[in-house]
Amino acid sequence: MIIGMGIFVGGIAQIIAGIQEWKKNNTFGATAFTAYGSFWISLVTIWLLPRTTFGAGLKSDEVSMGWYLLLWGLFTAFMFVGTLRLNKALQVVFGSLVVLFLLLAIGDFTGIKAIKTIAGIEGIFCGLSAIYACAAQILNEVYGKAVLPLGKV
């Protein structure tokens, strides 16, 4: 299930959304959607490639995965700074995503399962905050008023 979601919802759908944001001259939206769409496609590739004859023996170790996640956390931290000029809902999404990437990286670097469990819980919070922000933007636009507040800056 995660593989399919990663490819189609996390990957392809976000890249399409990023292209649409680019056409609207929204640099932040275009960068965010295309980058995280690419993240999901690359993550699924990291998981699946070693299972193919083409990628046999290419399995990444935990330290390599830790660096991969840490670099995404750094990128996300820069994106979080961009949200400081946007709404509070996006600040929560990107702020919690920074924490998520850092926890996942620390979990891989240390191998401590409790950290990965905490990351999983924090990831659920991050995902729910992203769903809220998405629903708020859609419903507020459809109804022409703040049905779900985004928290203006």
Question: Which pLDDT value is given to residue 50?
Answer: 81
The 10s digit of each residue's pLDDT in 68-84 is 999 999 999 999 999 99
HSE value, Cβ hemisphere, 13 Å, CA-based, for 84? 7
Question: Which pLDDT value is given to residue 40?
Answer: 96
The answer for residues whose C-beta is within 8 angstroms of residue 47's C-beta and 6 or more apart is 3
Cα separation of 92 and 49, whole Å? 33
| Average pLDDT of the residues of the chain | 95
- The whole-model pTM stands at 0.93
The 10s digit of each residue's pLDDT in 35-69 is 999 999 999 999 988 888 777 777 789 999 999 99
The 10s digit of each residue's pLDDT in 79-123 is 999 999 999 999 999 999 999 999 999 999 999 999 999 999 999
Cα separation of 68 and 60, whole Å? 10
Confidence band of 153 (pLDDT split at 50, 70, 90): confident
